[in-house]
Amino acid sequence: MAKATFAAGCFWGVEATFRQIPGVTGTRVGYTGGEMKNPTYKDVCTDRTGHAEAVEVDYDPAKVSYEALLNVFWENHDPTQLNRQGPDFGTQYRSAIFYHSPEQEQAAHASKQTFEKSGRFNRPIVTQIVPAMTFYEAEDYHQQYLEKHGLAHCHI
C-alpha cells in the first residue's frame, strides 16, 4: 500500500473523484501544509492557518500507479488558478501535490512539466509541489460528504 496527498480546491469533490479510481483503497479529507496544530474547519476557513483542504489517498501500486493518480489530479481541477477553484477562494483552496517520497517528487515534477508543455492550459500552472507535512483529518461530517448526501459532484 502507498499514500498520495493532493489539494485541488474543495476537498469534497476531490475525494469523490479519487474514490472512484480502481486501486484506491481509501481516502480521507483534511488539512495540511500549514502552521497551526490540530486545525478545525473553522480555523482553516479564516485563511490564516496556511493549510490547504486536501485528500489523502491510500492506494495499491500494483493496481494503480502514482502517475495515474497524478493524471486524475491534473484533469479534475484548474491548476492555473492561484488560491482558488471556481467560486471558492483563499489559500486553503490552492492546488498542491504533497509528495511522500523522492520518487513521488520526481513523478510530480515530470507530470507538471508534461501538462505545461501540452498546451492544454492558457495560463501558467501554479500548483505547488512540496513535501508532505502533518495531515490533520477533517471533522467526520466532511468525510465522504458527497456520498453521504447523495450528490455526484460539487456545485460550481
* Catalytic residue annotation: 10
Helices (H), the chain: 11-19, 41-44, 66-75, 102-117, 145-148
Q: Which residues contact 101 (CB under 8 A, 6 or more apart)?
A: none
Question: Across 21-71, where does the E strand assignment appear?
Answer: 24-32, 52-59
Report, in angstroms and rounded to the nearest whole number, the Rg of the chain calculated over CA atoms: 14
Side chain identity at residue 128, one-letter code: Q
Side by side, the strands of the sheet bearing 24-32 are: 128-131, 95-99, 2-8, 52-59, 24-32, 136-137
